[in-house]
Amino acid sequence: MENSSPASNRCSYEDYEATADWLRSKTAQRPKVAIICGSGLGGLAELLHNKVVFPYKDIPLFPQTTVMGHQGQLVFGTLEGQQCVCMQGRFHTYEGYDLKQVTYPVRVFSLLGVKTLILTNASGGLNSSYKVGDIMLIKDQINLPGLVGNNPLCGPNEDRFGERFLCMSDAYDPDLIALAQQTAEEQGIEEFMQKGVYCMVSGPTYESVTEGRALRTLGADTVGMSTALEVVVARHCGLRVLGFSLITNMVVTEYDSKQRANHAEVLETTRMRTQVLEGLVTKIVAKIRREVVPLLWSSGKTSRPLSPNRTTQSDYGTHFGLRRDVVPLLWSYRKTSRPLAPNRTTQSDYGTHFGLRRDVVPLLWSYRKTSRPLAPNRTIQSD
Ligand SMILES: O=P(O)(O)O[C@@H]1C[C@H](O)[C@@H](CO)O1
């Protein structure tokens, strides 16, 4: 099969499947986490164990990177025991790629079974309290190209990935943000951690003084040339998203400033912080693994009927037939102390049924063994 990237209107579901099938045929690894590395930040992929590396030029229908600091290969491997796939280099619209090509890998990841997408990028700081070398946890984004019609979801909707109208107010997963903040504290790096809003522009020009000022007025804390489109597509296929923006330079917002943005400075700053960011992402991936593993391992011990009025922690495990060590985890996912309602059968009802937080529901749902409706007297695991 050809490895040249398809034109946008030929990015069909079958194209994504063909690329995913090819990758599946070349490696037995089945990653749950994908990481897209920004400019100069590809070193993260070097930390993976049992690496299987695919240069983009060998992957059917994959675009090629043309930017310095973007190596251009897909690396499968394990990080802290978690199977991951890492993009050493991403695609940008300023390279001449269209919106579907830029976001092509994200849909392939989704077909490969990825559930969580972690993105990094290099950006210019707009918030005057930020410093070069700070790492901003992205809490929200301004998809500037998208706001004026350049949204990768424009065109016929592909229902097999997601629904036509997508909510973006919860794009960056609050629980992953909390996990990242907690991890940064544990690593002792809070002093250069920020949390704020990333704005995507098309590039390749850096901002004029007035553009920089305008973006700040819009509410952006950093500005870059990537990420937002990938996040839109990731959310459309239901992936959980976590994003980090490394402030590599401050955007010039004074007319008489002598500072000039340049890509060499961007890459130089990434060198300064790359290890810190790698350490942070590694620890977060380990924690994501711990979130999932007990749920996978937990197996039904009883077939006792659900009794709908259990609400204490110690009852919880018996109730669902879960191993003792899983109980605190599930307990922490509870959103209410309401009694359980035993007759729910759909995914959206699943969380209510077990009194679990909304973000845990797809996870539990994806671990169901059958698509049979829940019978009210089954425990979670035996179902
Ligand atoms: O891929 P990212 O967003 O990290 O790269 C940034 C934006 C431009 O590609 C480049 C500008 O220096 O770095």
What number is the average pLDDT over the span 101-120?
A: 95
Which residue has better confidence, 226 or 286?
Answer: 226
pLDDT tens track for 116-156? 999 999 999 999 999 999 999 999 999 999 999 999 999 99
Element (H, E) at 84: strand 82-88
Residues 31, 83 contacting (CB under 8 angstroms): yes
Number of domains present in the structure of the chain: 2
pLDDT tens track for 16-34? 999 999 999 999 999 999 9
Residue 312 clears pLDDT 90, i.e. is over it:
no
Does 164 share its domain with 24? Answer: yes
Does 234 share its domain with 328? Answer: no
Does 287 share its domain with 141? Answer: yes
Evaluate: CB of 121 within 6 angstroms of ligand 1: yes
Does 182 share its domain with 70? Answer: yes
Q: From ligand 1's centre to the CA of 142, what distance in Å? A: 16
Q: Could you tell me the residue range of the domain that residue 332 belongs to?
A: 293-383
Which residue has better confidence, 93 or 369?
Answer: 93
pLDDT at 225: 97
Copy the structure tokens of residue 302: 């009883």
pLDDT at 305: 34
**Domain contains 297:** yes
Lowest mean pLDDT among 59-68, 201-210, 281-290: 281-290
Pairing assessment for the beta strands 49-55 and 73-79 based on DSSP bridges: antiparallel
Residue 275 clears pLDDT 50, i.e. is over it:
yes
Residue 73 clears pLDDT 90, i.e. is over it:
yes
| CB neighbour burial string for 201-223, b if at least 16 within 10 angstroms, e if fewer | beeeebbeeeebbebbeeebbbb
Does 227 share its domain with 217? Answer: yes
Q: From ligand 1's centre to the CA of 224, what distance in Å? A: 6
Evaluate: CB of 225 within 6 angstroms of ligand 1: yes
Angle between helices 228-236 and 104-112 (to 10 degrees): 30
pLDDT at 315: 46
Domain termination site, one of 291, 312, 329: 291
Does 114 share its domain with 229? Answer: yes
The DSSP secondary-structure symbol of 3 reads -
Domain termination site, one of 248, 274, 291: 291
Residues 126, 216 contacting (CB under 8 angstroms): yes
**Domain contains 307:** yes
Does 325 share its domain with 284? Answer: no
The atom number, within ligand 1, closest to the CA of 206 reads 11
Cα 369 from Cα 219, distance rounded (Å):
45
Residues 79, 72 contacting (CB under 8 angstroms): no
pLDDT at 330: 53
Does 232 share its domain with 359? Answer: no
Does 100 share its domain with 162? Answer: yes
Choose the residue to mutate in 93, 103, 121 for probing ligand 1, maximizing ligand atoms within 8 Å of C-beta: 121
Does 272 share its domain with 298? Answer: no
Which residue has better confidence, 216 or 346?
Answer: 216
Question: Where are the strands (E) in 185-278, listed by range?
Answer: 193-200, 222-224, 240-250
Domain termination site, one of 259, 275, 291: 291
pLDDT at 269: 87
pLDDT at 6: 58
**Domain contains 2:** no
**Domain contains 305:** yes
**Domain contains 373:** yes
**Domain contains 3:** no
**Domain contains 6:** no
pLDDT tens track for 198-237? 999 999 999 999 999 999 999 999 999 999 999 999 999 9
Written as one letter, the residue type at 229 is L
**Domain contains 70:** yes
Residue 75 β-bridge partners: 53, 86
Nearest CA owner, ligand 1 atom 6: 122
What number is the average pLDDT over the span 177-202?
A: 94
Residue 360 binned pLDDT confidence (cut-offs 50, 70, 90): low
Copy the structure tokens of residue 279: 């350490």
pLDDT at 355: 53
Nearest CA owner, ligand 1 atom 9: 225
Q: Is 249 helix (H, G, I), strand (E, B) or coil?
A: strand
Does 207 share its domain with 142? Answer: yes
Does 129 share its domain with 166? Answer: yes
Residues acting as catalytic residues: 39, 70, 92, 94-95, 122, 225-226, 249, 263
